[in-house]
Amino acid sequence: MRHALPAGLAALLWTGAALAQPSAPPAALAAPSIAGAPQARPELSALPRARLVGQARLTVWGFDIYDARLWAPAHFSAAGFAASALALELNYLRNFQAADIAERSLKEMRRSQPFSDAQAAQWKAELLRVIPDVRKGDRITGVHRPGVSAAFWVNGRASGEILDADFARLFFGIWLSPDTSEPRMREALLSGSGE
């Protein structure tokens, strides 16, 4: 039986809004096993020298939402994330509808830069094409191809690519931009970047 939160609450919780408190990830997440190593993840094949830069758990109002991990090459710069190849992995700890994820993503993307309603409608359609409803335990990884696209993988299988450099920059900015709604999560994800 699938347990889901009401749509409005699910949309609020997906990225956590302003009340989120990123917490330290569990010990199992702190030291990736062989299964967590880059070579064991097909979605990281585009980043052959990727390393785990940082990780965090997003918790909102006592609800664990997801564990996030940022993978990037050794030369990764937090200040230049928009020009860097990287992968952001979200391991979901709750069920969410794809439409709620898409809506919340667009709202968070607008924190960095305004865009038209027509652009939002196009990007929402693209997100719904590549991101399914998620269940507890699902893993979605976005791979940033700077200046080109954002490719998405669901549980280690390619689910599609959005060929739009502006979309990709703003999407990964949800977590990595200085304008993020979750500055403590950003700090944790970028903790291994040396900046």
Evaluate whether 57 touches 67 at the Cβ level (below 8 Å).
Answer: yes
Full-prediction pTM beyond 0.85? no
Element (H, E) at 117: helix 117-130
Q: How does DSSP classify residue 88?
A: E
Beta-strand pair 51-60/139-145:
unpaired
Q: What is the pLDDT of residues 12-53, one digit of tens each?
A: 344 433 334 444 444 334 333 333 455 568 889 888 889 999
Q: Using a pLDDT cut of 70, give the percent of the chain over it.
A: 79
Q: Does domain 7-193 have CATH number 3.30.70.20?
A: no
Q: What is the pLDDT of residues 97-134, one digit of tens each?
A: 999 999 999 999 999 999 999 999 999 999 999 999 99
Question: Using CA of residue 178, residue 116, residue 165, residue 125, what is the dihedral sign?
Answer: positive
Domain ranges for the chain? 7-193
Q: What is the pLDDT of residues 74-103, one digit of tens each?
A: 889 899 999 999 999 999 999 999 999 999
